[in-house]
Amino acid sequence: MLDTGRAVSLTASLETLDDEALHAVMTRAQTLLLDRPASSRDAPILMVDVVRPEEGALLAAYRALPSPARRRLLARARTLVG
Q: Is residue 46 part of a domain?
A: no
Q: How many domains does the chain have?
A: 2
Calpha distance 70→80 (Å, rounded): 15
pTM of the model as a whole: 0.42
Q: Can you spell out the DSSP letters for 1-57?
A: ---HHHHHHHHHHHHT--HHHHHHHHHHHHHHHHHS---TTSPPS-------HHHHH
Provide the percentage of residues in the chain whose pLDDT is more than 90.
39
Whether residues 28 and 58 fall in one domain: no
Q: Write out the residue range of the structural domain in which residue 64 sits.
A: 53-82
Instruction: Find out whether 46 and 30 touch, Cβ atoms under 8 Å.
Output: yes
Residue 63 lies in a domain: yes
Amino acid at 16: T
In a domain, 19, yes or no: yes
Q: What is the pLDDT of residue 43?
A: 64
40 is a domain residue = no
Per-residue pLDDT tens digits for 39-64 = 666 666 666 777 888 998 998 899 89
The overall average pLDDT reported for the chain is 84
Structural domain includes residue 10? yes
